[in-house]
């Protein structure tokens, strides 16, 4: 089970630009016999700049708004030299 979880990156984003994202929780109910069960918690947009800034904002039309503060903290853990900010306002 740990091996299957280790293969899932906690954060994965495109190198630069503005793109949609979703926040997903992987459920650990023995990962449905390693078929991995997930729950979508919402989404939004991420603006990733080559000037070391990341902005999380907006909402997904299909999944609703994710908790951008959670997304920003996850991004900070991977992109620790970046300025990561979030907003509930639409851009």
Annotated binding site for substrate: 20
15 DSSP assignment: S
Tens of pLDDT, residue by residue over 17-57, are: 999 999 988 767 655 666 667 789 999 999 999 889 999 99
Q: Is 68 exposed, middle or buried (0-12, 13-18, 19+ CB in 10 A)?
A: buried
Annotated binding site: 20
Residue 34 is predicted with a pLDDT of 64
The ranges assigned to domains in the chain are 2-86
CATH topology of domain 2-86: 3.50.20
Tens of pLDDT, residue by residue over 50-71, are: 889 999 999 999 999 999 999 9
Residue identified by tokens 């992987």 is 26
Residue 7 has pLDDT above 70, yes or no: yes
Per the CB < 8 A criterion, the answer to whether 86 and 71 are in contact is yes
Residue 55 is predicted with a pLDDT of 96
Start-end of H helices in 35-82:
68-78
Residue 20 is predicted with a pLDDT of 94
- What's the whole-number mean pLDDT along residues 84-89? 92
């Amino acid at each position: 089970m740990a091996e299957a979880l280790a293969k899932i990156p906690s954060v994965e984003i495109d190198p630069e630009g503005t793109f949609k994202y979703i926040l997903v929780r992987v459920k650990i109910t023995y990962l449905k016999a390693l078929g991995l069960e997930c729950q979508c918690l919402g989404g939004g947009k991420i603006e990733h700049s080559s000037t070391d800034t990341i902005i999380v904002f907006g909402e997904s039309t299909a999944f609703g708004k994710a908790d951008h503060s959670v997304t920003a903290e996850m991004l900070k853990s991977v992109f620790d030299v970046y300025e990561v900010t979030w907003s509930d306002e639409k851009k």
